[in-house]
Amino acid sequence: MKTEDEVKYVEIVYRGIFQKRLAKYIAEGIVYTAREMGKPALSFGRYGDSPERNGVPAKYYVGIGNGIGEEDLIGYSTRVEPDLVDVIVVLDDTLLKGVESWAWQGVQPINLKLKANGTMIVTSTKRMDELVKMVPKKDFEWTFGVIKTEPSFSGLWAFKDDLTMEKVWGAIAKLRPDIIDIDHLVKYVSKKQSSDKRISAVKEAFSSVDYRTIRKGEGIDFIYNPPRLLTWQEMLEGTVVPAVPRGKRNEQFKRGTTKFERPTVDFDTCIKCKLCWIYCPDECFDETPDGYYDIAYDYCVGCGICAEVCPVKDCIVMVDESMFTDYRRPYEMWKENKVKYKEWLKEVRNARKERVYVPGLGR
């Protein structure tokens, strides 16, 4: 039996800090249910994801033994991350655009590690056909599931008990009963406090999760070139690390996938006060020749500080990141056609949702 057949892995992709406890508790529930089924199981965070920064994509894993013992399972799972996974759970649909957790790894497709005939489940309020346009192509068939719910966000020390974890468990039980089945899942959930509403959430997700097969080659082209580490002959002498030149940015660590919102700018009302440029913690604003401040969206993490410090009402407004397919700069669009830009601005701002309340950020 191959190693990949002896262990089934579930990968949980989440927004660092905001969904840390949610991911941990989802993994915990899968482990306990698998153990109820008589299988060895364990969970672990991806090495290097901690300490986390707000919104940075991070991963949690569950390993479930298939005909092997506890010690062998621990041995297989003592690694940075599994090579392939059977199930991917995505806790925020904007993560479908790609994930960049570490420096030097580049922006990876969300389904990079998915096995042939594997399953990916996402929490979203969008329709299936809208989400399929965001998923990268694979050269095999796989199953895509959607749990109709708002992404759940909380804080580092807080847990928003909104039944998201029960919905995720129910969806996995429906689509991958070889991982956890509904009977043992209900048995596990029945031991928890307020078990009636939790069991109802599990059963609701089990019966309502939307899913379909994604065909070979269906989806978007996602070009990913894994970074190549230098050989010893290519390294500089000693421990010298070349610095990023003054006024430049690190091309190998953009972090644009961190955000689930992006700032939009109304240049017609901008007073060129410079506060966005001063306060941006990631130095994403560039001064233009005529004194405005443009945004490098591929480096912006969507923290919203620029919108909070801007003194002009509605000059900078945060909108839903999932509406966009590229990182084209707003100043370029405005200079190209100001009337068209104004219409575009109105459209994306009207489509925005109420901003997520995140404890600890003063919003």
Region 319-334 average pLDDT: 92
pLDDT band at 17 (very low <50, low <70, confident <90, very high): confident
Q: What is the predicted pLDDT for the residue at 361?
A: 45
Please state the pTM of the whole predicted model: 0.84
Average pLDDT over residues 13-39: 94
pLDDT at residue 13, rounded to an integer: 96
Classify residue 306 by its DSSP letter.
Answer: H
**189-193: which pairs have CB atoms within 8 A and are 24 or more residues apart?**
189/29
**% of the chain with per-residue pLDDT over 90:** 63
Please write down the HEC assignment for all residues of 4-64.
HHHEEEEEEEEECCCCHHHHHHHHHHHHHHHHHCCCCEEEEECCCCCCCCCCCEEEEEEEE
pLDDT above 70 (res 357): no
